Chain A
Amino acid sequence: MDFDLSEEQGMLKDSVERLLKDQYGFEARGKYRAGETGFSEKMWNQYAELGLLALPFAEEDGGIGGGATETMIVMEAFGKALILEPYFASVILAGGVLRHAGNAGQKSALIPGIADGSLRMALACAEPQGRYDLFDVETSAKKDGDGWVIDGKKALVLHGDSAGKLIVSARTSGGSRDEDGISLFLVDGNAEGVLRHGYPTQDGLRAAEITLQSVKVGAEALIGSEGGAWPVISRVADEAVAALCAEAVGCFEKMHELTLEYLKTRSQFGTTIGSFQALQHRAVDMFVELEQSRSMTMYASMLATGDDPVERARAVSAAKVQIGESAKIIGREAIQLHGGVGMTMEYAIGHYFKRTTMIDILFGDANHHLKRLAQMDGLIREDA
């Protein structure tokens, strides 16, 4: 058992953190957000230069061959800086589908673009009626000669408004809540019949509701096997949750740090408020949640890339429960300990609170994952 980072991992962590520290302060973030796309093209290109956009892809596909630990390091750093760029949408989600299900042609056509920053992609796998059940797919793909015609509505597609290409889940057979019969298709973002309604999310990022009306794609657009996408989607979702947990830990770390700074400098009744025991204990509660979340994120990152889907799902769900609960505790304490200024847009803490609240929702909230874990008999069983 070894919790240490390798030398290369340590260097990766240092270089990402240095870049963000220099160029992603809270004020800079505000400017990036006010720009046209809602994030910074300049930062995006710097991520590409650092190799971050190529990180999880295999070397033979033009990537760097990083694993779960590398993703965890990067996502944690991104969480600390509260970045706005579509890394999660493009590299983790769409990139994840390509890694696990793309054929050689699709990989060589798309991964180099993702890796050098010129292509941004999004994964459209949720639907309005499905809530957190990604197998609940009503969007249909019907055979049309060699190709397919896709009709339906996709919900909350992260950065779906600016993505050059979309990966869309659609049903090629079965009933609307069957795990079998779902397929994944590559769809050009500007293809005829793709209507994208983009909007900001609570945390300052972007998403889109996407309607597909008789969208025609060729046979080569199918990613993976026809009707067999569910194992791919659930695997990508599990890896995505592990990545989100790491981002949340980065946010929690910063929230704890900002709150401590405030407690040590804000003065009332003639003394710093950090000298009051009632407030000290609340700051300790935040610290405990932060460390427990960090532990669970390591655990999930380790198991999220495993091949046993049940073992993976248990670990990931357990971690997401921890993160969701901690997000509530750390969030409410951080705002409360800041008092009035914690309520203001101009102060950083509230933005972290909003992001971690959205992270709880993304890919299933704590309730959803607790139910899922309980259905899988929990973590402690006769055999484990």
Chain B
Amino acid sequence: MDLRFTEDELAFRDEVRTFFREALPASIRENIVAGRHTTKEELVTWTRILHDKGWAVPHWPVEHGGTGWSPIKQYIYLEEMSQTPAPAPLAFGVNMVGPVIYTFGNEAQKSRFLPRIATLEDWWCQGFSEPGSGSDLASLKTRAVRDGDEYVVNGQKTWTTLAQYADWIFCLVRTDPDARKQSGISFLLIDMKTPGITVRPIQTIDGGHEVNEVFFDDVRVPVENLVGEENKGWNYAKFLLGNERVNIARVGVSKERIRRIKELAAHQRVGGERMIDQPEFREKVAAVEVRLKALEMTQLRVLAGEAKREKGTQDPASSILKIKGSEIQQATTELLMDVVGPYAMPYIPEDDIDGRNEPSIGPDWASTIAPAYFNTRKVSIYGGSNEIQKNIIAKAILGL
């Protein structure tokens, strides 16, 4: 047992760290540091930079543009990216639909879609949740009825992140209404420009517009856009959801945020002393750091074991990553609220931040903190709520 990075891994870390620092446009970095959302243009720019380096989809098979890095190196890559901080590649493409296509798709689908995912020429969004199907996803009702060489899709998806930018949506649709609920589902790729699709924004409590409702009204989808076999979509969905382990814990994001907390707290004065010098505040931060270090080690245990595990089996420890990772992300935004204090109050819609002429109210970094705190409540809800995660652990690992 040796928990240190090897010489090779350390050299790799230095290489990616240097590259990210030099290659990321300063304006993109500044936006992230200030807590603002990355724009579509910024993410496309960054993805192209990574693609030119050959690093846009490192975890994919080499024949589709992957790098062949070990799981530990993939982890280092993502860690360094989030600590630069640089925007994460669009998960819906590179982590979700991409692996489904290269694992279950046909040759035509692979050559048509994969290169455009890697370059972000196609922006993908995810059509899983429905108004009546959240935690009970398999109860979904959006129908796809075969009509000659097409499916006719009717129904509604919701919580569709960044659908407003999307070129394509991958959907779970019901193709056999009479089968047991998991058995009648198929995995369809749908062009967002198809007539009959309507995207309606949902404003979240932070004031932001990340998520949408997507309505399908007699949307005609060519049969060639079916992935794998009809009625086997649930298997592909499970594969997709289980595939997100490499970075689900967001350790790098939380580390970067703790650095930010310490930096800001060094400039905040409370009762005549710097906030960072107050023992009670330091201890609150240190308590989160302990949980984060434990999570990081758990993440590394899972990754180190990955190569040796049978395909399709999971390290029991991996189920912890989502639960603890989301709790820690939320704890860091709570600490940021502690740091900012009263100037968390003014509400400045983000659209105004970029183009505003007015001077800021309070410190110029303060206005994004309360929205980030509100927004981060989502992380224990999405991707299978933490309660669903606990149900899964209870059943699959504890045998209850």
The reply to whether B394 and A296 contact each other, CB–CB distance below 8 Å, is no
Instruction: Name A373's contact: one of B2, B255, B286 (CB within 8 Å).
Output: B286
CB distance from A348 to the nearest CB of B (A): 19
Question: Does B244 make an interface contact (CB < 8 A)?
Answer: no
A361-384 vs B, CB cutoff 8 Å, 1 = contact: the mask equals 000000000110111001111100
CB distance from A181 to the nearest CB of B (A): 27
Secondary structure at the A interface, as helix, strand, loop or mixed, is helix
Beyond A260-B400, A296-B293, is A280–B258 a contact (Cβ under 8 Å)?
A: no
Instruction: Name A302's contact: one of B4, B290, B387 (CB within 8 Å).
Output: B4
The reply to whether A283 and B300 contact each other, CB–CB distance below 8 Å, is no
- State the CA gap A2–B294 with chains docked (Å): 16
Q: Which residues of B contact A299 (CB under 8 A)?
A: 3, 293-294, 297
Q: Which residues of B contact A284 (CB under 8 A)?
A: 390, 393-394, 398
The reply to whether A283 and B394 contact each other, CB–CB distance below 8 Å, is yes
- State the CA gap A88–B55 with chains docked (Å): 50
Question: Does B391 make an interface contact (CB < 8 A)?
Answer: yes
The reply to whether A296 and B297 contact each other, CB–CB distance below 8 Å, is yes
Q: Which residues of A contact B394 (CB under 8 A)?
A: 277, 280-281, 283-284
Beyond A291-B316, A375-B282, A378-B282, is A318–B305 a contact (Cβ under 8 Å)?
A: no
A-B interface pairs (CB < 8 A), number? 140
A1-27 vs B, CB cutoff 8 Å, 1 = contact: the mask equals 111111001000000000000000000
- State the CA gap A2–B286 with chains docked (Å): 27
Question: Does B218 make an interface contact (CB < 8 A)?
Answer: no
- State the CA gap A275–B290 with chains docked (Å): 33
Instruction: Name B294's contact: one of A260, A264, A293, A374 (CB within 8 Å).
Output: A293
Q: Which residues in chain B, 1-20, are within 8 Å of chain A measured between CB atoms?
A: 1-6, 9
Q: Which residues in chain B, 262-304, are within 8 Å of chain A measured between CB atoms?
A: 262, 279, 282-283, 285-287, 289-298, 300-301, 304
- State the CA gap A4–B397 with chains docked (Å): 21
The reply to whether A374 and B2 contact each other, CB–CB distance below 8 Å, is no
Question: Does A86 make an interface contact (CB < 8 A)?
Answer: no
CB distance from A323 to the nearest CB of B (A): 10
Question: Does A305 make an interface contact (CB < 8 A)?
Answer: no
Beyond A281-B387, A374-B285, is A380–B255 a contact (Cβ under 8 Å)?
A: yes
Question: Does B259 make an interface contact (CB < 8 A)?
Answer: yes
A210-240 vs B, CB cutoff 8 Å, 1 = contact: the mask equals 0000000000000000000000000000000
Q: Which residues in chain A, 285-344, are within 8 Å of chain B measured between CB atoms?
A: 285, 287-288, 291-293, 295-296, 298-299, 302, 318, 321-322
Question: Does B339 make an interface contact (CB < 8 A)?
Answer: no
The reply to whether A378 and B289 contact each other, CB–CB distance below 8 Å, is yes
For chain A, give the interface size range: 35 or more
Question: Does B399 make an interface contact (CB < 8 A)?
Answer: yes
Q: Which residues in chain B, 126-175, are within 8 Å of chain A measured between CB atoms?
A: none
- State the CA gap A375–B282 with chains docked (Å): 8
The interface stretch among B232-240, B317-325, B361-369 is: B317-325
CB distance from A203 to the nearest CB of B (A): 24
Secondary structure at the B interface, as helix, strand, loop or mixed, is helix
Beyond A280-B398, A371-B283, is A292–B291 a contact (Cβ under 8 Å)?
A: yes
The reply to whether B283 and A291 contact each other, CB–CB distance below 8 Å, is no
- State the CA gap A299–B295 with chains docked (Å): 11
Question: Does B72 make an interface contact (CB < 8 A)?
Answer: yes
The reply to whether A370 and B294 contact each other, CB–CB distance below 8 Å, is no
CB distance from A184 to the nearest CB of B (A): 31
Q: Which residues of A contact B291 (CB under 8 A)?
A: 292, 322
The reply to whether A3 and B304 contact each other, CB–CB distance below 8 Å, is yes
Question: Does A69 make an interface contact (CB < 8 A)?
Answer: yes
Q: Which residues of A contact B391 (CB under 8 A)?
A: 277, 280
CB distance from B279 to the nearest CB of A (A): 7
CB distance from A277 to the nearest CB of B (A): 7
Instruction: Name A295's contact: one of B255, B294, B398 (CB within 8 Å).
Output: B294
- State the CA gap A241–B211 with chains docked (Å): 48
The reply to whether B4 and A370 contact each other, CB–CB distance below 8 Å, is no
CB distance from B45 to the nearest CB of A (A): 28
Question: Does A263 make an interface contact (CB < 8 A)?
Answer: yes
- State the CA gap A295–B324 with chains docked (Å): 13
- State the CA gap A307–B337 with chains docked (Å): 38
Chain A CB within 10 Å — which of B255, B290, B292 has the most? B290
Question: Does A274 make an interface contact (CB < 8 A)?
Answer: yes
- State the CA gap A197–B257 with chains docked (Å): 52
- State the CA gap A382–B258 with chains docked (Å): 10
The reply to whether B301 and A295 contact each other, CB–CB distance below 8 Å, is yes
Q: Which residues of B contact A2 (CB under 8 A)?
A: 1-3, 304
Instruction: Name A298's contact: one of B1, B282, B323, B399 (CB within 8 Å).
Output: B1
Q: List 27 A-B contacts (CB under 8 A).
A: A1-B4, A1-B6, A1-B300, A3-B300, A3-B305, A260-B400, A280-B398, A281-B394, A284-B390, A284-B394, A285-B390, A288-B320, A291-B320, A295-B298, A299-B293, A302-B2, A302-B4, A318-B290, A318-B293, A321-B287, A371-B279, A374-B279, A374-B286, A378-B282, A378-B289, A379-B286, A381-B262
List chain B positions with a Cβ less than 8 A from chain A. Answer: 1-6, 9, 72, 255, 258-259, 262, 279, 282-283, 285-287, 289-298, 300-301, 304-305, 316-317, 320, 323-324, 387, 390-391, 393-394, 397-400
Closest 6 CB pairs of A and B: A295-B297, A374-B282, A280-B394, A292-B294, A374-B286, A274-B400
